[in-house]
Chains A and B, each alone.
Chain A
Amino acid sequence: MNIERVLVANRGEIAVRIIKACRELGIGSVAAISEADRESLPAKMVDRAVCIGPPRPVDSYLKIDALICAALGTHCDAIHPGYGFLAEQPELAEACGKYGIIFIGPSPENLRQMGNKLLAREIVKDCGIPIIPGSEKVKDVKEAIKVAEEMKFPILLKAAAGGGGRGIKIVTNWEELKATFETAAAEARVAFGDETLYIEHYIPNARHIEVQIAADHFGNVIHVGERDCSLQRRYQKVIEEAPATSISSDLRESIRRAGVTVAKSMNYRNLGTVEFILDQDLSQFYFLEVNTRIQVEHPVTEMISGIDLVKEQIRIASSHPLSLSQSEVSLEGHSIECRINAELPEAGFQPCPGKIREWIPPQGEGIRVDSHCYPGYLVPPYYDSLIAKVITLGNDRSEAIERMRYALKSFIISGIHTTIPFLQFLLNKSDFIEGRVNTRWIEEVLSNNRYQSCRKDPTTGGSRYERDQFR
């Protein structure tokens, strides 16, 4: 079944990315926008933009009935959910099924299985893939303390319905556990509608490695290599790379195979990412979670594979077989992505919405910029602060880093603060260049005010904002 028109149920750079893929496939696109996004780039690019509600996500991008109504009213036969918002909510996928609309994503059943982290652990454990040592559901503080003392502190207290770095707390002793258990449950209930908590062993020297999967309706499952997303702040990814250079080729093969096994075992269809935690001290990897959507960092995989993942995702949803087999996947070079946020790092990464005055993205060999911004665009205060992704490709990692340094240096943005100076600071650290990092590295760099003191030194870096002061 061919898709003829897609309702893009998302905003920002991923909406732009989806619209471009639709165009290349000769598919029409309609943007569902909130009132705050009337002047956004996706709204300007599409055949038709439909305003589905007020700015707040609960009144617009999270409203399933409005999205279905907009899709039917504009004769769309498919909905692309992007990432975030409703992308991993089984309810949207179900509503699509009920109204004869193709949901460009997995089945509601797959979404339920992977949305509940405890259930996902069970499924993965059954196919013989190591999971992080941890508990079943812990029902109260007493049980939590018992589990934690057997496991030895520190531990991670996690919400079963969490994921994507949300609903996680590190707990270092039992007093702390006593103090945080109730609030963690309450937070989980408010944020995810499910207060179930469980406990996981905490791995201090870890890398985050994830495998890109593509699976069609005919049982074909391939991987498109792995990504290393160890550079995180508060469990949110900051810099991502492909391939992972820190692991032996044997370990790499095992992780890739494990990713394919997980997708096959759950009869998965769609793009997906199987995330693993690598314990660097033991060279042992553990299953973390499956992301059942296109991911923010998908471009690094596209850069080294030459595969357009969003187009592939739409083809899968149209019940076409994968356009290539595993042996046809060839990965070359090294790619890095930096997420640029409208935030002020010096002020605890406080979001800085506002009007963009100048906007001149970098150009050059091996440089790609995914963004929805333009000069004069008002970054609205209602949504997340991602304004651009800069992606570079090099023959090897050092060339990719070099190109990223050049790209960030020549990216001109004024009117708002961005995290570019902070990213430049990270790219110049010898620990980063030589690969001596783990998932806590950025937090460590940020503690002791090492970043702040560096910012006071006029010889290093130089944000556009500071340069403006000297004009």
Chain B
Amino acid sequence: MKLTEDEVFQILKLLEESSFEELNLEMGDLKLHVRKHGSLAVTGGDCITTVSTPIGVSPKTVAEVKQEVPQTGVQETPSIVTDVRERGAKEVAPISQEGLLPITAPMLGTLYRRPAPGSPPYVEVGTFVKENDTVCLLEVMKVFNSVKAGVRGYIVKICAESGDLVEYGQTLFLVKPADKPEEKD
């Protein structure tokens, strides 16, 4: 599930015009929490908006929201401060500038790049992946969880190796977006 920046602004506007103080929206993996006044109307305090995006949502969209927000009409009330935070915040910003998308760890765990010892890795640099392709496994206390690409394109960098402890939100792979594999002659 995705939200475009326009849709986020529409939601902010709807809340601003409504008599409600707070909005919690959950659609599949996406969770949006918007609050009008940080604590109370009387404080004129902060407005905390939290957007958590699902794995694989274009980080560019989120980054743009972050930049655009201060210029929108919703922001005309001067006392309101909006703080948009996204998953894997540390890694996302610089990478999006290069036009690459990260595949991030959906949980903390031990990374495995192969389905079984001796098998070939799920992906290598240059592999074309589709949204639902498994790119690696994460093991948490003997339970293996497959990590889906969530995006479509070419793996251009492998950022963690088998046996590494990876943190929640850590970048595992970088993907150069592409709709379909390039034709080879």
Contacts and interface: CB of A to CB of B under 8 A. Distances in A.
Interface of A: 35, 38, 50-55, 60, 65-66, 68-70, 73-74, 95, 99, 344, 347, 350-355, 378, 381, 416-417
Interface string B97-133: 0000000000111100000000000000000000000
Interface string B74-107: 0000000101000101100000000000000001
Given A51-B170, A53-B168, A54-B52, A354 B108 contact: no
B87 A54 contact: yes
A241 B107 CA distance: 42
A354 B170 contact: no
A51 B167 contact: yes
A324 B89 CA distance: 48
Contacts of A66: 107-109, 140, 168
By secondary structure, the A interface counts as mixed
Nearest to A39: B89
Contact of A354 (B48, B87, B107, B169): B48
If over half of B's interface residues share one DSSP class (helix, strand or loop), that class is named, otherwise mixed; here it is: loop
Contacts of A99: 141
Given A38-B90, A68-B141, A354-B46, A73 B110 contact: yes
B40 interface: yes
B156 to A, nearest CB: 24
B45 A352 contact: yes
Contacts, number: 81
Contacts of A353: 38-39, 46, 48
Nearest to B81: A355
B42 interface: yes
Interface of B: 35, 38-40, 42-43, 45-46, 48, 50, 52, 81, 83, 87, 89-90, 107-110, 139-141, 143, 165, 167-170
Contacts of A95: 141
Given A66-B108, A347-B39, A353-B38, 11 more contacts: A35-B87, A51-B167, A60-B168, A65-B140, A69-B140, A99-B141, A344-B39, A344-B40, A347-B42, A353-B48, A381-B50
Nearest to B45: A354
Contacts of B48: 353-354, 381
A312 B12 CA distance: 51
Contacts of A52: 108, 167-168
- Nearest first, the 7 A-B pairs at minimum CB distance are A73-B165, A352-B39, A51-B167, A354-B46, A65-B141, A51-B168, A53-B168
Residue with the highest number of chain B CB atoms closer than 10 Å, among A69, A347, A353, A381: A69
Nearest to A34: B168
B40 A65 contact: no
B83 A35 contact: no
